[in-house]
């Protein structure tokens, strides 16, 4: 039989063990979830950014997170668009391309954001695209087609998502929504802001902010100085969102999207991908640093899909590419149309490529460029952003960039998305589950499970 002193020592030791286990369990509770989605950001975009920004062995902040996995990205149709991809990640259901959190019969699918609200957590969506675009919409709305921006805007407010920051002002106006949703938001107690300076001055107050910083998608980082943009960066939006949402004692769910990584990738725009990914990466660092300080916070970094098959090729012309300071879309806006209006002047094409990309096109190359930016159906010119895609493809080819060709992209229903798996990087409690290869629907299941009491 144990002596009394030894029994006391044993009891004390057991008590200490149980106390440590209990403390660890309490600390491991997921109070907050910060989901950061780099739209179109596959491993190629990550590698391109780290190489261009720092060198062959450089690591981005997101690459330093302790838990890493891989996610497959298909929709029910095969290669996914952002709506189907977002729906799978937000709801755990694969759907058709274009669907926003609805199944093939039009039935609404509950998202992890909905689940957070049921648990009395505050919620937020951020995007450098419009806040009504495919990815943010899949978390906060349910419609049969991603193009229903006005209806999505209504649902975002009706669902009382507390923090809404990004582009898309037009979808909240009467012409699109059928009513003035900005006025309605103010009546509902939202602080409304429309530029970077106003966002900086926001104080938590009642915890509801609507920030719409552009009528359409927000400007590329590369173009903001040229167009005298007054828009906040993704980092500034993420910082303010966490500041406001963290006032909720029950915790919060935040989805922050670096959307224009995808747009730059569609245009084979290496400097654009780098600039947008660096802004995204700075936001990741802030979120992780905040999580380290406050605890009980899951930070997950992922892409919805990969765009254009980016790779760092051995003969890539790094210096020439990083000397380009504006986007191909901006360059497209500087082209001069011919009198007929169905082509651009050869002189302006040559001038734009030389001025902004230091590329000297021959007259034959300029004529070929013209032939590649005309709609086959009616002979009209492509929209400016698609002219930018063609400019980017020429720049990429001249600088030995590894991307899907313009010819293949033109045949693609998604504009150049691929079936490439994408990496997951994660920090915080429960994130060791983001390990190995998983489906995008399994990704959602981990998020749901993490928030269950």
Q: What share of residues in the chain are helix, strand, coil (percent, to 5)?
A: 45, 15, 40
CB within 8 A of 226, min separation 6: which ones? 326, 330
Alpha helices in 255-323 (DSSP H): 260-266, 270-294, 318-322
SS (H, E, C) 348-399: HHHHHHHHHHCCCCCHHHHHHHHHCCECCCCCCECCHHHHHHHHHHHHHHHC
Residue 58, annotated ligand binder? no
| Contact indicator for 143, 100 with CB cutoff of 8 Å | yes
| Distance (Å, whole) CA 260 – CA 267 | 11
Tokens representing 37 are 């989605």
Same domain, 223 and 295: yes
Considering 377, 401, 425, which residue would you say is the last residue of a domain? 401
Cα distances from 24 to residues 18, 21, 176, 326, in angstroms, run 10, 5, 50, 49
C-alpha torsion 46→68→30→108, nearest 10: 70
| Contact indicator for 102, 447 with CB cutoff of 8 Å | no
Tokens representing 119 are 């648990």
Same domain, 346 and 234: no
**Residues that are catalytic:** 82
Same domain, 438 and 378: no
Q: How far from chain centre, in Å, is Cα 283?
A: 11
Same domain, 210 and 307: yes
In a domain, 237, yes or no: yes
In a domain, 42, yes or no: yes
Residue 133, annotated ligand binder? yes
Strands 163-167 and 122-130: parallel
Strands 163-167 and 209-212: parallel
Tokens representing 51 are 């190489």
Same domain, 255 and 357: no
Residue 39, annotated ligand binder? yes
Same domain, 422 and 390: no
CATH code, domain carrying 190: 3.40.720.10
Report the pLDDT value the prediction gives residue 377, as an integer from 0 to 100.
Answer: 81
| Distance (Å, whole) CA 86 – CA 80 | 10
The pTM of this model reads 0.93
Cα distances from 371 to residues 342, 365, 367, 396, 442, in angstroms, run 10, 10, 6, 18, 45
Same domain, 191 and 277: yes
Residue 257, annotated ligand binder? yes
Report the pLDDT value the prediction gives residue 28, as an integer from 0 to 100.
Answer: 57
| Distance (Å, whole) CA 326 – CA 221 | 9
Same domain, 263 and 182: yes
Same domain, 251 and 392: no
In a domain, 422, yes or no: yes
Q: What angle do CA 38, 44, 46 make, to 5 degrees?
A: 50
Residue 160, annotated ligand binder? no
Which segments of the chain have a pLDDT < 50? 1-27
Backbone angles phi, psi at 70, to 5 degrees: -130, 140
Tokens representing 7 are 């029994």
CB within 8 A of 258, min separation 6: which ones? 36, 37, 38, 39, 41, 128, 234, 276, 277, 279, 280, 283
| Contact indicator for 286, 254 with CB cutoff of 8 Å | no
Residue 414, annotated ligand binder? no
Report the pLDDT value the prediction gives residue 324, as an integer from 0 to 100.
Answer: 98
Tokens representing 195 are 């530029």
Q: How far from chain centre, in Å, is Cα 31?
A: 23
Q: How far from chain centre, in Å, is Cα 356?
A: 27
Same domain, 175 and 298: yes
Same domain, 439 and 293: yes
Residue 262, annotated ligand binder? yes
Residue 358, annotated ligand binder? no
Residue 305, annotated ligand binder? yes
Q: Is 158 helix (H, G, I), strand (E, B) or coil?
A: helix
Same domain, 383 and 302: no
Please list the residues that pair with 37 across neighbouring strands: 257, 302
Strands 297-302 and 422-427: antiparallel
| Contact indicator for 159, 150 with CB cutoff of 8 Å | no
| Residue-range definition of the domain harbouring residue 228 | 30-56+67-311+416-450
Q: Is 293 helix (H, G, I), strand (E, B) or coil?
A: helix
């Amino acid at each position: 039989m144990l002596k009394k002193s030894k029994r006391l020592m044993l009891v004390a030791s057991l008590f200490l063990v149980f106390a440590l286990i209990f403390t660890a369990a309490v600390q491991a509770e997921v109070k907050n979830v910060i989901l950061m989605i780099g739209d179109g950001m596959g491993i190629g975009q990550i590698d391109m950014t780290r190489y261009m920004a720092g060198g062959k062995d450089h690591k981005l902040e997101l690459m330093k997170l302790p838990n890493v996995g891989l996610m497959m990205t298909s929709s029910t149709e095969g290669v996914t668009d952002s709506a189907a991809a977002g729906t799978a990640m937000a709801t755990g259901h694969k759907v058709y391309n274009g669907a926003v959190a609805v199944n093939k019969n039009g039935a609404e699918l509950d998202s992890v954001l909905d689940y957070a609200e049921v648990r009395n957590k505050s919620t937020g969506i951020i995007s450098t695209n419009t806040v009504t675009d495919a990815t943010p919409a899949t978390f906060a709305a349910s419609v049969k087609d991603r193009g229903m921006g006005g209806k999505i805007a209504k649902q975002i407010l009706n669902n009382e998502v507390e923090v809404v920051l990004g582009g898309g002002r037009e979808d909240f106006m009467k012409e699109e929504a059928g009513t003035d949703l900005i006025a309605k938001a103010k009546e509902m107690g939202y602080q409304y802001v429309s530029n970077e300076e106003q966002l900086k001055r926001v104080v938590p107050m009642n915890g509801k902010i609507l920030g719409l910083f552009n009528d359409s998608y927000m400007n590329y980082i590369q173009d903001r100085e040229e167009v005298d943009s007054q828009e906040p960066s993704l980092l500034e939006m993420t910082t303010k969102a966490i500041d406001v949402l963290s006032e909720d004692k029950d915790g919060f769910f935040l989805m922050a999207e670096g959307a224009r990584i995808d747009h730059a990738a569609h245009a084979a725009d290496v400097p654009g991908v780098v600039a947008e990914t660096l802004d995204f990466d700075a936001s990741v660092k802030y979120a992780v640093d905040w999580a380290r300080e406050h605890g009980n916070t899951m930070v997950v970094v992922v892409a919805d899909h990969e765009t254009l098959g980016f790779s760092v090729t051995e003969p890539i012309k790094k210096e020439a590419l990083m000397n380009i300071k504006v986007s191909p879309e901006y360059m497209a806006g500087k082209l001069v149309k011919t009198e007929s209006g169905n082509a651009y002047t050869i002189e302006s094409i040559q001038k734009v490529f030389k001025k902004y990309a230091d590329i000297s096109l021959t007259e034959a190359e300029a004529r070929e460029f013209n032939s590649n930016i005309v709609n086959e159906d009616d002979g009209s010119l492509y929209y400016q952003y698609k002219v930018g895609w063609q400019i980017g493809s020429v720049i990429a080819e001249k600088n030995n960039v590894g991307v899907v060709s313009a010819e293949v992209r033109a045949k693609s229903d998604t504009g150049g998305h691929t079936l490439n798996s994408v990496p997951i990087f994660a920090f915080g409690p429960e994130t060791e589950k983001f390990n190995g290869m998983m489906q995008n629907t399994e990704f959602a299941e981990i998020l749901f499970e993490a928030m269950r009491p």
